[in-house]
Structure 1
Amino acid sequence: MNVVFVLADDLSMNLLPHMPNVQALAKDGTTFTNYTVTDSLCCPSRSSIFTGRYPHNTGVFTNSGKDGGFHKFQQTQEMDTIATTLKSNGYRTGFMGKYLNEYQPVDGVRPGWTDWATGGNAYANFNYKLNENGAIKKYGSKPEDYLTTVVQNKAVTFINDAARRSQPFLLEIATFSPHGPYTPAPQDKNLFPGMTVPQTSAFNRHPRNAPSYLAANDPLTPQEISTLNGIYRKRAQSVQSIDRMIGTLRDTLSKAGIADHTVVVFSSDNGFHLGDHGLNIGKQTAFSTDVHVPLVVAGPGIRTNTTVDQLAENIDLRPTFEGLAGITSSGTADGTSLVPLLRTGKPAGDWRRLSLIEHHGPKTSEPAAPDDPDKQNSKDGTPPTYTAIRTADWTFVQYLDGTREYYDRTTDPDEMNNIAASLPAERVQALQASIKKMEACKGSTACTTATR
């Protein structure tokens, strides 16, 4: 089975209504309603996707420095990924777009990938360089240089060539959009006039009993809200090229005669908040706006127009892709294959009861590098180090300084009432014990058992 995986950057759930091809993919396939990331930050999340491992097992907690970034991943993780596994089993493996923070084109083609077209700081989507199978190529500012368009065209060529060779493949296209500066394709820059940022009950409001990093912020000003409106509009514009690409790739698979041998997957490395909980622009929190992202899968043998409610995380993608390829799991992943859920709606065995989120804040990691594209100030949200666990119904957050949050999302879906202080002592102790077990788990069996 072939796999085409489209991974967006900072795509939040509230952008999905503007993506008709993603909606069509969902109708033709399965959507996971409780899919979360191991950390709402680019590099740790992508490291979990490549390896199937939690941050406490990858050692990648941030975008740079001793506890994160490409160089940390390179030192400890890069020789055991979904790419190395599938390549060693005869798969052609293509990667196009954004790899990991700190990677630059001069760093070359990475282990496990047979086809490579990857950029460094290409967030503007124009005037960037790609490493294309070892050769560095410059792109300019013409419409045809728009990065999502470039990787789309390369992906089409890759698919057609693999089809002619009858070679099984894994192709990941990781866009830099809609990450800031939220540059849309030229044909989309005038779309959605007058669009404003969606406002839930959490917009420009702190939760009751908010943690200090959040409660200390002043309310957003009218000017800041006006800026958020403009940013949301640009984000909606910038995902149009991703959405078109998904439609183009599916058409290409059909015309090449391999659609019935290919699974298409769409997701994001993390979510994004714009004004939620009184925070300005950013991610990194344990709120659903930041950690809950889309996962949509369609292809042969996968149930159509349906949803899966079981908890899923980005650590599950590697074993899922291995399962789709008919390969016995490498055994080094903390996640579990989603293939049984995709095909029958039921897990093959015991399933996790908790999802884990691990985040290093500025007190336990080096300060963000000056050129870190995800550097945030206090009003954007710079939470201290925390570990969080969540189910389909609630979220519990334990900060390094002892501060806690607990949100009952069945009655408080926007997470506005922190009731941690009212929990019975034995309940808090049980939650803390669960966190301790999950922070120490290694391997799929152990990490599933730790959720009990």
Structure 2
Amino acid sequence: MIRTRQLLTLTAGLAAMVFAAQSGMSAATAHTTAPTVKPAVATAAAKPNIVFVLTDDMSTNLLPYMPEVHKLQSQGTSFSDFVVSNSLCCPSRSSIYTGEYPHNTGVLSNTAGPNGGFKAFHDNGLEKDTFAAALKAKGYRTAMMGKYLNGYDPKSTVDGQQPYVPQGWSQWDVVGNGYPEYDYKLAHNHKMEPHGDKNKDYLTDVLSEKGQSFIKKSAAANKPFMLEVALFTPHGPSTPARRDKKDFPGLKAPQGPAFDKLPTNAPPWLARQIPLTQSEKTAIDKKFRKRAQSLQAVDKMLGKLRQSLTSAHVADNTYVVFSSDNGFHLGEYRLKAGKQTAFDTDVRVPLVIAGPGVAAGRTSHAQVSNIDLAPTFEKIGGAAVSSKVDGHSMLPLLDGGSDAGWRTANLIEHRHAKPAHDDPDNHGTESVSPPNYHAMRTNSYTYVEYDSGAKEYYDLSTDPDELHNIAGQLTRARLAKLHDALTGLKNCHGDGCWSAGHP
């Protein structure tokens, strides 16, 4: 059924919501009729629970199509400057699990090898350093559902296990290749569950049911729990549930100031991009529409998980976290579908947190990063945060307190990826992988250094769309200061990353 009423509502509010998504304004501000619910404070006797919903390749311009996320925003805190340490699935997820930058996890790409994929994560012994391992040691029931790390295959034998279940997880419901959403095999702990192409097999819905069941059973057992549901959507092919395939008829991709436009003084790899053809623009519109459609099941799942928390009488003592592993460009800067750049389209992603004591309807402008999720979860559960962790707990930012004193700069790392048939993010067709770079993003600028020596500097206060590279206009002294600050970040470890983040 085509959701005509929903489409009309979204169309009427689209401009306001896109502005809210890009500026960090909460949905409560963009939709003045959204209810404001003051979260209840957890009792001291019970450890808080955590439900973490992680999308794949979700850009901020898709927020207007997710009413349950809007509701979460109105009841929690949104972060306007949440950036990822690497705009690529496996490196980013490795940082999320451990709280470490890619140069410390050693996971710099998706593909198997000494520096990439599940194999590098496993071989580097990082499974013992995840927030799941820390929370399980504190008595939590922990569940991982959906997408783990690129290269993980439930059918493979690892350390004598098939399917392999990493330490730290009480329940394991993970798929290797779940991008098509149908016809997959799911590892349920150490057993395989085959799924076909019927409506009931749609992966996001299956994960939703499993997540609801986990919440119910954990609450009944009177055990604190941590549930991560990591989706494969809206990553391509962006397969929507069949019930959603006709949603948003005629929807087109946003064409903001950066659409089909090169920045002035673009670096060589980007300067080679030619204007988009009409057929490419039409394909971009279709992709955006499918991405919005595929997220409808995710949004519905978020609502059902939260309802399960209420039904189990644990909603008041549960943190609900919604985010993405990286962003996505779709026509901006003459780039078709992809990520991996240092532009905000690719590195700045949604982060919304609601829960006990969290300020409702608030937007924080603190420079937070995906490396901050693991220590936040560990602090919630009363676990000690390892000295190896580069990130910082965000709990002080969640009670409505000031952003003052938080880090002022975040590191972004990128390793060029060559076309690989087994890498869903780099088939060498539409996606362009830039040369190696390190970047530093603050609330006022983005500074990029490529291994080749090329540089970019975008003044976000005057050029929020990042269309004017003024690195060539900076003084030698200013460039030297930026270089030293970026060098400090890209070489930092543990607690040293906090001080390096205050250049």
TM class by smaller structure: over 0.9
> Aligned equivalents of 2:430 and 2:468: distance in 1?
20
Matched, 1:228 2:293: no
> Aligned equivalents of 1:36 and 1:251: distance in 2?
29
Determine if contact 2:420/2:428 at 8 Å carries over to the other structure: no
Matched, 1:70 2:121: no
1:176-187 correspondence to structure 2 within 5 Å: 176-187=232-243
Determine if contact 2:101/2:390 at 8 Å carries over to the other structure: yes
Q: How many residues in Structure 1 have an aligned counterpart in Structure 2? A: 446
Q: Which runs of 5+ in 1 are unaligned?
A: none
Matched, 1:450 2:500: yes
Per-residue CA deviation, residues 137-173 of structure 1 (Å, 9 max, x unaligned), is 1111001100000000000000000000010011000
Q: Secondary structure at the match of 2:286?
A: helix
Q: TM-score, normalised by structure 1?
A: 0.97
TM-superposed CA distance for 1:106, in Å, is 2.6
Amino acid at match of 1:75: D
Q: Which residue of 2 aligns with 1:261?
A: 317
Q: Which residue of 1 aligns with 2:299?
A: 243
Q: Which residue of 2 aligns with 1:130?
A: 186
Amino acid at match of 1:99: Y
Q: Which residue of 2 aligns with 1:121?
A: 177
1:372-387 correspondence to structure 2 within 5 Å: 372-377=423-428, 380-387=431-438
> Aligned equivalents of 1:75 and 1:317: distance in 2?
23
Q: Secondary structure at the match of 1:130?
A: strand
Amino acid at match of 1:447: C
> Aligned equivalents of 2:440 and 2:204: distance in 1?
34
Q: Which residue of 2 aligns with 1:215?
A: 271
Per-residue CA deviation, residues 309-337 of structure 1 (Å, 9 max, x unaligned), is 11000000001001111223233210000
Matched, 1:89 2:138: yes
Amino acid at match of 1:122: G
Q: 1:394 aligns with which of 445, 470, 473?
A: 445
> Aligned equivalents of 2:233 and 2:429: distance in 1?
24
TM-superposed CA distance for 1:379, in Å, is 5.6
> Aligned equivalents of 1:241 and 1:249: distance in 2?
12
Q: Which residue of 2 aligns with 1:431?
A: 482
Q: Which residue of 2 aligns with 1:22?
A: 69
> Aligned equivalents of 2:327 and 2:498: distance in 1?
25
TM-superposed CA distance for 1:376, in Å, is 4.9
TM-superposed CA distance for 1:433, in Å, is 0.4
Amino acid at match of 2:140: Y
Determine if contact 1:217/1:378 at 8 Å carries over to the other structure: no
Per-residue CA deviation, residues 388-427 of structure 1 (Å, 9 max, x unaligned), is 0011111000000000000011111111110010011111
Q: Which residue of 1 aligns with 2:95?
A: 48
Matched, 1:34 2:85: no
> Aligned equivalents of 2:356 and 2:132: distance in 1?
22
Q: Which runs of 5+ in 2 are unaligned?
A: 1-47, 157-163
Amino acid at match of 2:273: N
Q: Which residue of 2 aligns with 1:152?
A: 208
Amino acid at match of 2:194: K
Determine if contact 2:426/2:432 at 8 Å carries over to the other structure: no
Q: Which residue of 1 aligns with 2:18?
A: none
Amino acid at match of 1:40: S
Q: Which residue of 2 aligns with 1:409?
A: 460
Q: 1:341 aligns with which of 397, 400, 410?
A: 397
Q: Which residue of 2 aligns with 1:358?
A: 413
Q: Secondary structure at the match of 1:239?
A: helix
Per-residue CA deviation, residues 169-224 of structure 1 (Å, 9 max, x unaligned), is 11000000100001001110000111100011110111111111111121110000
Q: Which residue of 1 aligns with 2:221?
A: 165
> Aligned equivalents of 1:178 and 1:380: distance in 2?
16
TM-superposed CA distance for 1:89, in Å, is 1.1
Q: Secondary structure at the match of 1:214?
A: helix
Determine if contact 2:138/2:382 at 8 Å carries over to the other structure: no
> Aligned equivalents of 1:448 and 1:60: distance in 2?
21
Determine if contact 1:214/1:381 at 8 Å carries over to the other structure: no
> Aligned equivalents of 1:130 and 1:226: distance in 2?
35
Matched, 1:79 2:128: yes
Amino acid at match of 2:121: F
Determine if contact 2:457/2:470 at 8 Å carries over to the other structure: yes
Q: Over the residues paired in the alignment, what is the CA RMSD in angstroms?
A: 1.2
Q: Which residue of 1 aligns with 2:4?
A: none
